Amino acid sequence: MISEKMVAAWFERRRSDMVDLLRDLVNTDSHTHDKAGVDHVVDQIRNFLETAGVETRLIEQEVAGNLLHADIRPAGSNAAPVLLLGHCDTVFPKGEAARRPFQIVGARAYGPGVADMKGGLVINAFVLASLKALTPDGLPVRALFTSDEEIASPVSRDEITRTSRNVRAVFNAEPGRPSGNVTVGRKGGVFMRVDVEGRGAHSGSHFTYGISAVEELARKIIGLHALTDLDKGVTVNVGVVKGGLTLNTVAPSASAEFELRYVDARHRDEYMARIEKIIATEHVQSASAKLTVTGEFLPLVQTDAAKAIYRIYDSAAAAVGVHFGEEFSGGCSDAGIPCSLGVPTLCGTGPVGGGAHTVEEYIEIDTLLTRAQTLAVAIIRLLEER
């Protein structure tokens, strides 16, 4: 196998190239529903990889952003590959990159999506390029770049599932925690919408004729929030509420978007049943309500096999001269998909950062290099195990 020192040195020589690609990606708007923007990010990664001699395969989508496979497996190899995951979409609207372009201030880089997760995309792309350059015959390593993680991957989920089957391990390049740790566990999450229908009426002359959808929704919200049990790690949060016409009209309709998050997978069905009961319960006579699941993330659980993967990653970090501890996060990610298939999965292998989804989003710029070196060395060590 190749020398770990050679790997570390390869990245050292390309430190500025990594920053250049990161700048290009951050300065490209790629909101989940901006297909042209997401596709442009995918195309930039594809061009970089193909220039590096990495084989790619594009899966075009009609509405969502395109998906990209990359592969450096030796021809005819039956060895279970390592899979690198990353998503190309962000939460920021079109025009945000022009308003807040990529910049480096001191030890940090800023810009929309710099942490979540364009820094991770750069790491995955350069890790593939390094292993291809240093092992011309290739290694059993593949990558999948997806397009809709920020809305729970409705398009990418099936492709992630197919690609994750029969792989040896998965490294998901979400940002490292602000503490510097990688993520070894995550909550599962169910995203939902409730639509309530009542009957509109003039609130003065026909008050009793009206059926207030707003009142019905408000009473349901109280019940939903009461489900939160911090000791169990279960939370329910209503984040968006809409409804009504005017202040002097009994509201004919109302809606809310909310989420359930949980740690223990056994709580998923239990709390979904309780949510369904709350939505079905009528508080205002003749009001009706409909519940719709709009997206779902599966939990990331640290199994014994996943713990072994972390130990390899930690030893690789030590070889590079750094240390990244382990941490649980209440956030969700695509890492739960391969985990649900029994594949040992480590998340948060992107650069250390914080402030995701805000104007303060940042990465510690030096960790773009050290995390890439660590991941490449970890892959080599993992593949050396038989």
List phi, psi (to 5°) of 242.
-140, 150
**Rounded distance between C-alpha atoms, residue 163 and residue 184, angstroms:** 21
Same-domain status, 163 and 251: no
Q: What is the pLDDT of residue 137?
A: 84
Same-domain status, 153 and 201: no
**Rounded distance between C-alpha atoms, residue 238 and residue 248, angstroms:** 25
Q: Token pair for residue 354?
A: 């914080």
Segments forming the whole domain that contains residue 203 = 188-297
263, 297, 331: which is the final residue of a domain? 297
Residue 284: Cβ within 10 Å count: 20
Closest CA to 146 of 344, 334, 301, 296: 334
- What is the full per-residue pLDDT of the chain (386 aa) written as tens digits? 678 999 999 999 999 999 999 999 999 999 999 999 999 999 999 999 999 999 999 999 999 999 999 999 888 788 899 999 999 999 999 999 999 999 999 999 999 999 999 999 999 999 999 999 999 888 999 999 999 999 999 999 999 999 999 999 999 999 999 999 999 999 999 999 999 999 999 999 999 999 999 999 999 999 999 999 999 999 999 999 999 999 999 999 999 999 999 999 999 999 999 999 999 999 999 999 999 999 999 999 999 999 999 999 999 999 999 999 999 999 999 999 999 999 999 999 999 999 999 999 999 999 999 999 999 999 999 998 85
Reported pTM: 0.93
Rounded to whole angstroms, what are the CA distances from 147 to 166, 246, 334, 357?
23, 39, 11, 16
Which CATH number does the domain housing residue 303 bear?
Answer: 3.40.630.10
Q: What is the pLDDT of residue 206?
A: 97
Q: What is the pLDDT of residue 127?
A: 98
297, 330, 356: which is the final residue of a domain? 297
297, 314, 333: which is the final residue of a domain? 297
Same-domain status, 151 and 219: no
Same-domain status, 19 and 76: yes
Same-domain status, 306 and 281: no
Same-domain status, 193 and 54: no
| Contact between residue 216 and residue 284 where contact means Cβ atoms under 8 Å apart | yes
Q: Token pair for residue 19?
A: 């920053």
Closest CA to 372 of 3, 6, 2, 7: 7
Q: What is the pLDDT of residue 136?
A: 81
Q: What is the pLDDT of residue 386?
A: 59
Q: What is the pLDDT of residue 1?
A: 62
Same-domain status, 303 and 293: no
Q: What is the pLDDT of residue 78?
A: 85
**Rounded distance between C-alpha atoms, residue 115 and residue 377, angstroms:** 22
Same-domain status, 158 and 276: no
Same-domain status, 206 and 113: no
Same-domain status, 76 and 145: yes
Same-domain status, 273 and 308: no
Which CATH number does the domain housing residue 258 bear?
Answer: 3.30.70.360
Do the strands 169-172 and 345-347 form a parallel or antiparallel pair, or are they unpaired? parallel
Same-domain status, 123 and 41: yes
Rounded to whole angstroms, what are the CA distances from 187 to 156, 172, 373?
19, 15, 28
Q: What is the pLDDT of residue 318?
A: 96
Given the structure tokens 């602000």, which residue do they identify?
Answer: 178
Q: Domains in the chain: how many in total?
A: 2
